[in-house]
Structure 1
Amino acid sequence: MSRPIFEVIALTPQDAQAAESGGADRLELVTDMAADGLTPSVEDFARIRAAVDIPLRVMLRIQDGFAPGGLDELAARAAALRAEGAEEFVFGFLHADGAVDLAATAAVADAVAGCRWTFHRAIDHSADRAALRAAVGALPGLDTFLTSGAPAGVDAGHEVLLADLARAGEPGYGQRILIGGGLRAEHLKGLRAEGFDGFHVGGAVRVDGWRTPVDAAKVAEWRALIDA
């Protein structure tokens, strides 16, 4: 069995270095956690890229919520980040009624053609999860769904996650499940036993939430639990 993937949210080079030293496999780069994570500047991306050697997935999201905002601006930010060396991204969009905004999602996928990307937790807020997976599952580059199974987090979404895992290999279900959102250390043993192999955290590896930086020792504790 391949080693499970452990992804940590980083806002700064300090976060990135601590996550890497603690054993994270990959970083999700964002800014402005008050808006649940927006696209970082090219300058911040460049500083973090210079600080670590592990892969980076960069958020493409320019406003709070799940609407895309300006597609031209998103495409321009993606182009600028790619010019600076970004190779992996995170995005996904919904209409106001909760249906997947396939046109916007496909447009951004086209803007990052040739790159791997994650459809983020918009899936947990969609009106029809199965329809969303069917609609976006064949978009080029999509290799991961970041999900907790429900808007309220892993405790509420556990059965949904199990149902998704049981359909692995079906159209729209071939991507990795990366569990994040309300994920706690005590979930890990059970989730690993059930066959999940992707985990994503942010505040859980900080001493006092988003007011404090990533703590390498906390990352190492999570790494050990994931690998146990």
Structure 2
Amino acid sequence: MSPLLEVEVRQVRDVAGAVEGGADRLLLTTESGLSPDLKQALGVIREASIPVRVALRLNESRTTTGGEFTRLCGLVGEYLALGAEGVMFGFLDAELGVDVEVCGGIAEANPGVPWTFNDAIDDCLETERAWRALRTLPGLDAVLASGSPRGLGVGYDELLAFAEGDRSAAAMLLPGRGLVAEQVPWLVRAGVGQFHLGPQSRPSGSYRAYVDAGHVRSWRLLLDNSM
């Protein structure tokens, strides 16, 4: 089976290029990285013929408050009611570890909903400890990671070594920021089965341009040929 290809979209006009290029799933977020409003989410979900996950985040930090927690749980239901397949979120505690209470609380409030832990994993102080925590969380099936807060340009070797040493974690890895074509075959051989495209899916790698079907298709072919 060919690896799953997820493409980040920010508006309705990004959807066609992602779908036509062969994406398997969309991740809807905003320029600020915060949760999109319901109108924006509805537009993207209606336009898409493939599953859509929606970013769940109300402030630009890696933490959240009690009031935000209630709103986050409610947002999940609202996005699902619009047709979303799942969500993406990730929160850390004061020690820069996975906030199991918050993340587990959101997941448990929405049983059966698949979700992605966002790239907050790259900010954790202890990777192995973070992964032990992640394995306790229900519904989690993807972890957006680059091996470094500075992206795969810096963290590739570490991420590859981690995947090679832990096949169960490799199956959940969703390499993203800074991913380049040469890295894909090695990650696939290490057991990684899903990949995320951000600016790589756009002309000149710019978010000012819409997602381009040709760019996505080149990655689709790369993944198809990497098995």
Q: TM-score, normalised by structure 2?
A: 0.90
1 or 2, which has the higher helix percentage?
2
Q: Does 1:46 align with 2:49?
A: no
Question: Alpha-carbon deviations, 1:9-64, whole Å to 9, x = none?
Answer: 01112211110000111110111x2x3x2111222121111112111111111111
Q: Does 1:142 align with 2:120?
A: no
Aligned to 1:159: 157
Identity across the alignment (%): 36
Report the AA paired with residue 189 of structure 1: P
Unmatched 5+ residue regions in structure 2? none
Aligned to 2:180: 184
Q: Does 1:24 align with 2:23?
A: yes
- Whether contact under 8 Å (2:45, 2:82) holds in the other structure is no
**Structure 1 residues 14 and 28: alpha-carbon distance in aligned structure 2, compared to 1, 3 A threshold:** same
Matched residues in 1 for 2:80 and 2:192: separation? 31
Deviation at 1:126, TM superposition (A): 0.5
Deviation at 1:202, TM superposition (A): 1.0
Secondary structure, in 3 states, of the residue corresponding to 1:145? Answer: strand
Matches within 5 A, 1:65-214: 65-69=61-65, 70-165=68-163, 166-169=165-168, 173=169, 175-208=171-204, 209-214=206-211
Deviation at 1:193, TM superposition (A): 4.1
Matched residues in 2 for 1:26 and 1:47: separation? 16
Secondary structure, in 3 states, of the residue corresponding to 1:210? Answer: coil
Deviation at 1:3, TM superposition (A): 1.1
Matched residues in 2 for 1:38 and 1:177: separation? 22
Q: TM-score, normalised by structure 1?
A: 0.90
Secondary structure, in 3 states, of the residue corresponding to 2:159? Answer: helix
Root-mean-square deviation (Å):
1.7
Structure 1 ranges of 4+ moved more than 4 A? none
Deviation at 1:84, TM superposition (A): 1.9
Q: Does 1:8 align with 2:7?
A: yes
